[in-house]
Amino acid sequence: MTATTLPVRLRWDGQRAEVWSWLPEYQIEGEALAQIRNIAALDPAARVAVMPVHKGYGMPIGSMLATRNAVVPYAVGVDIGCGMIAARTDRRVEELSRDRIRRVSEEICRRIPVGIPTRSDPKRGSHAGRQNSSVLREWHERRGGAHKEASHVRERGDRQLGTLGASNHFIELQSDQNGRLWFMLHSGSRSFGKSIGDHWASEALEWCERTGHSLPDRELGYLPLPGPGSEYIDDMTFALRFAEESRWRMYDRCVDSIAEVVGKFAVVEQIETIHNFAAIERFDGRDLVVHRKGAVRTTHDRGRVMVTIPGSMQTGSYIGLGKPSALSLDTCSHGAGRRLGRNAARRAQPGVDIRAEMEAQGIVLVCPADADVLDESARAYKDIEEVMSFQSDLVDPVVKLRPLGVVKG
């Protein structure tokens, strides 16, 4: 991969924050660019980093916003704690036939509910029913009283614990360049995270209006820290923990599914990466609230960290080693990023049978019969090779993974 002239600094009138981009400006679609200009104009904004972005609530997905003494709920988004687990096994891909890949994928889909229905859906059979999340119990006891319909929020979250959902969430069986079998899981906090995000976005807008703080966009309400923003951080942390609890439950079922078909095996490496969260971090002697939305932290107190960077269900993914960066505040992309919105992707591919297309590529796709996953095709995403090249100063590619079997909702 060759380095480029990126990052570039983007400048407009009315900016309060420096904006650095690891995506050429001509590749940033208009609505996402408008959102970038808006977050850079926020009063508490200090730094913005732009990765492979597409439009989101208030702030585009695939970007980082650092603020001074304030938190912006929609700069984290509604799928709080969304992230990935990648696991390398001791099995070689050559040991698995296409039929066994299919059987493992089908077993995963049997054990883990996927798609829009939750565990209350009778079609889910033995998976139906309340799961009694320890995180949700604690949230309801400590924080639920501050939220309307807290019991409903908890009950719905319980029914979605350990479920994959739909959209861009997936479970994949993969092969690395050395022929080792990996599996990767991408999931978030489902309706619980959305209820937290929407609740506090509304509270933030009300606070800004009541205190006379003007906003470039009503979806960019913020809350002061210390102050009411601390309550958002508390709730966000519960959503992060719920997403983690849910993800690891699915991980265990993936392990069971693989063992059911291929026999005893061992996981020799695990990498978990979170890409929707906010944290108070210290840079250049000052504390900043760093919001990463569709973006990943590349360092830890102990140094560089391994990160997962998926491309698409047809093109594969990367495991990378993060690099420190003063410009991005130690942040890199969480994936290739969408090139086309969901409806636009469908319009651009009339008549395409994505299942047959993937079969011809040697990739097994398992999803509900009525699922429309055409909007998750490679055509809907930016080129992962180009994206990795663009951010070569933020992350070193270590492992390249190609998809073998894909489970989608």
pLDDT at 360: 97
Residue in 210, 203, 206, 205 with CA at minimum distance from that of residue 232: 203
Q: State the average pLDDT over residues 32-60.
A: 97
Check: CB of residue 368 under 8 Å from CB of residue 163: no
- What is residue 395's predicted lDDT score, i.e. its pLDDT? 98
Q: What is the pLDDT of residue 372?
A: 87
Quick: pLDDT tens for 74-133. 999 999 999 999 999 999 999 999 999 999 999 999 999 998 765 554 444 334 455 789
For 106-152, the DSSP string reads HHHHHHS-BSS--TTSGGGGGG-S----HHHHHHHHHTGGGSTTHHH
Residue 146 CB neighbours (<10 A): 12
Distance of CA 183 to the CA centre of its chain: 17
User: Average per-residue pLDDT in the chain?
Assistant: 93
Residue 144 has a pLDDT of 78
pLDDT confidence of residue 130: 57
Task: With CA atoms as reference, report the closest residue to 292 among 61, 70, 69.
Answer: 61
Domains (range + CATH), the chain: 8-408 (3.90.1860.10)
Query: For 237-242, what is the mean pLDDT?
Result: 98
Residue 253 pLDDT > 70: yes
With pLDDT > 70 as the criterion, what percentage of the chain qualifies?
A: 95
pLDDT at 147: 85
Q: 3-class DSSP state for residue 239?
A: helix
- Tens digits of per-residue pLDDT, 266-319? 999 999 999 999 999 999 999 999 999 999 999 998 899 999 999 999 999 999
Structure tokens at 156: 């719905």
Question: Which of 58-67, 114-123, 257-266 has the lowest average pLDDT?
Answer: 114-123
pLDDT at 260 over 90: yes
Least confident of 126-135, 160-169, 217-226, 233-242: 126-135
The CB density around residue 9, as the number of other CB atoms within 10 Å, is 9
pLDDT tens, position by position, 316-343: 999 999 999 999 999 999 999 999 999 9
Confidence class for position 160, pLDDT limits 50, 70, 90: very high
Whether 140 is a known active-site residue: answer no
Q: Is the pLDDT of residue 393 over 60?
A: yes
pLDDT for position 116: 75
List the one residue out of 19, 68, 49 whose CA is nearest residue 281: 68
SS3 179: coil
pLDDT exceeds cutoff 90 at 359: yes
pLDDT at 133: 93
CA distances from 178 to 94, 174, 272 (A): 11, 11, 21
Give residue 338's pLDDT.
92
> What confidence score (pLDDT) does residue 127 get?
45
At 122 the pLDDT is 42
